[in-house]
Amino acid sequence: MADDLPLLFGLLLVAAAGTATVLVRDPVRQSFLLSLLGLALALVFLLLQAPDVALSQLAVGSALTPLMVLLSVRKVRRKARGERREEHE
């Protein structure tokens, strides 16, 4: 039972981060929580003795995906700002 405590903690962290990501409305905060979720999943994969999957999750789930979300949000907000300026002119 004591051997399962780190895995249980990791799974609880994954559940909490996933739930928080879904419940938060702001895309910037969602990307931060998505990064935290990726880190938690990487930890779980590491505890399950899958270091190759953990490294992939670390790169994609906690770095690339949140970065893509942030860049997309930035582009959409810039475009919306530009359209609002054109309406006022």
Q: Decide if pLDDT at 88 tops 70.
A: no
Amino acid of residue 35: S
Tell whether the model's pLDDT for residue 86 goes beyond 90. Answer: no
Residue 83 is predicted with a pLDDT of 76
Residues 66-69: contacts with CB within 8 Å, 24+ apart? Answer: 66/31, 66/32, 66/34, 66/35, 66/38, 67/31, 69/27, 69/30, 69/31, 69/34
Structure-block tokens of residue 1: 């039972």
What pTM does this model have? 0.84
- Name the H helices within 1-89: 5-23, 27-47, 51-59, 65-88
Judged against a pLDDT cut of 80, whether residue 84 lies above it is answered with: no
Q: What are the pLDDT digits (tens) for 1-53?
A: 778 999 999 999 999 999 999 999 999 999 999 999 999 999 999 999 999 99
Place 81 in a pLDDT band, splitting at 50, 70 and 90: confident
Picking from 55, 21, 56, 53, the residue whose alpha carbon sits closest to that of residue 36 is: 21
CB 60 within 8 A of CB 38: yes
